[in-house]
Amino acid sequence: MSSLTTLFLKNLNIMTNKLQYIIRTLLSLQSLPLFGLAIALTIGSAAFSQESSTWEPKEHEVPNGGKTHELSEGLPIAAFSSGGAKESALEDFIEEQKVAGLLIIHNGKIRLERYAMDHSDTGLWSSLSVAKSVTSTLVGIAIKDGYIKSVDDYVTEYLSELKGSAFDSVKVRHLLTMTSGVKWIEKYTDPDSDIAGFDKYTTADDMKAIVSYMRRLPAVAEPGKKFNYSTGETHLLGALVSAATNQSLSEYLSTKIWIPYGMEQTATWRLDRTDQEMAGCCLQMRLRDFGRFGQFVLDDGYINGESIVPDDWFKTATKIQMPLWPGGGYGYGWWIFNDHSFEALGIHGQKIYIDPSRKLVIAINSAWPEADSNARHFAAASFIKSITDEIDKE
């Protein structure tokens, strides 16, 4: 793990001392704007509950290969360049929104790249729940490879230990859309909630920890009927992919994307207590590799002239599968806010924004002092709008 990543994770632990107050404040709001995404929209169990755990987490490497997918330099966006009309707006956004890395890729070329807060082009940064979009993509790849037959398969076909539990009637698509109907409480102020409980959970039954933990939970809704944000469901989805492929998520991600697509640096993925990747969070990579993953998705999963996902996978995955507000909702691990773009999101300001209509990818690494903030979401959306406005003028 790089020194920057270590520092960032230490900072996250410090931030957790403030989370209880922040979340109580958010919960006191009568309603949240669209970008609020309820509270703490994508926290993994890493950032909150380590404070109460003496366990030292481990990581798997996601090796890259010897060939790098080069991102050539495009023309700078004039308005954001030195002396440009929006130069000060860019500087204000970086400083006020605690942006550590900002990358704009347009038509496959870098139009803007900035670092701050001691981050650099060689440093790794934690994805937090941006990893959920990576995990959902691995499901599509496993379907293309024949390891998983369909999103309509029952999860018990791949995780037989779940038979006899509330997951008997749950399908793969329900995990992708967080609509299993299985009870999961993701309240970070409650030490007895599931998000905190799983981090402390130990198992003596030779099962993967997430399988052992989730099989004990009751059903509270019919599958497919109710959205409930559950990091546990994405963790479970990762265990399902590992079981189906007989590979670790890190190995599968490496062999299917990191090496053949040409990621620039080996990434790392945090493990749970039974050495299963925590599929809902905590994938560390360079800023440019966040951008490359976005470009891979924008390119419809094509590597060397061949798509490694099923036909129309990303069209379906980034379509609203579960409406959550007028014109927006959740797909297969992706957030949709309008009809022309979609996003992978993580707390503390992590983002991959993809706009196929403009052939645009924006990757942002941030260190918000808050896990989630309506004001900061609006600031990011406003800044992205200013970027698209300038691109549309060209």
**Per residue in 38-83, pLDDT tens?**
223 333 333 333 333 456 789 999 999 999 999 999 999 999 999 9
Please say whether the beta carbons of 354 and 343 come within 8 A: yes
pLDDT, position 54: 58
Looking at per-residue confidence, does 352 or 3 come out higher? 352
SS (H, E, C) 148-208: CCCCCCEHHHCCHHHCCCHHHHCEHHHHHCCCCCECCCCCCCCCCCHHHHHHHCCCCCCCC
Q: How many domains does the chain have?
A: 1
The fraction of the chain above a pLDDT of 70, given in percent, is 85
CA dist., res. 43 & res. 58, Å (int): 18
What was the pLDDT predicted at 343? Answer: 98
Q: Please state, as a whole number, how many other Cβ atoms lie within 10 Å of the Cβ of residue 225.
A: 10
Q: How far apart, in Å, do the first and last CA atoms of the chain sit? A: 41
Q: pLDDT for 235-248, tens place per residue? A: 999 999 999 999 99
Query: How far is Cα 318 from Cα 314, in angstroms, rounded to an integer?
Result: 6
Tell me: pLDDT of 88 over 60.
yes
CATH (domain of 100): 3.40.710.10
Indicate the pLDDT class of residue 270, thresholds 50, 70 and 90.
Answer: very high
The secondary element (H helix, E strand) that includes residue 13 is: helix 3-27
Q: Which residues contact 343 (CB under 8 A, 6 or more apart)?
A: 334, 335, 336, 337, 351, 352, 353, 354
Eight-state DSSP code of residue 319: S
- And the tokens for 41? 């929209």
DSSP state of 266: -
pTM exceeds cut of 0.85: yes
Q: Which range of residues forms the domain containing residue 323?
A: 3-393
Q: Return the minimum-mean-pLDDT range out of 30-44, 118-132, 294-308, 314-328.
A: 30-44
Taking only the tens place, the pLDDT of each residue in 182-203 is: 999 887 667 777 767 677 777 7
Residue environment code for 178-208, b if the CB has 16+ CB neighbours within 10 A, otherwise e: bbbbbebebebeeeebbbbbbbebeeeeebb
Q: What pLDDT shows up at residue 162?
A: 97
Q: Is pLDDT larger for residue 261 or for residue 3?
A: 261
Place 293 in a pLDDT band, splitting at 50, 70 and 90.
Answer: very high
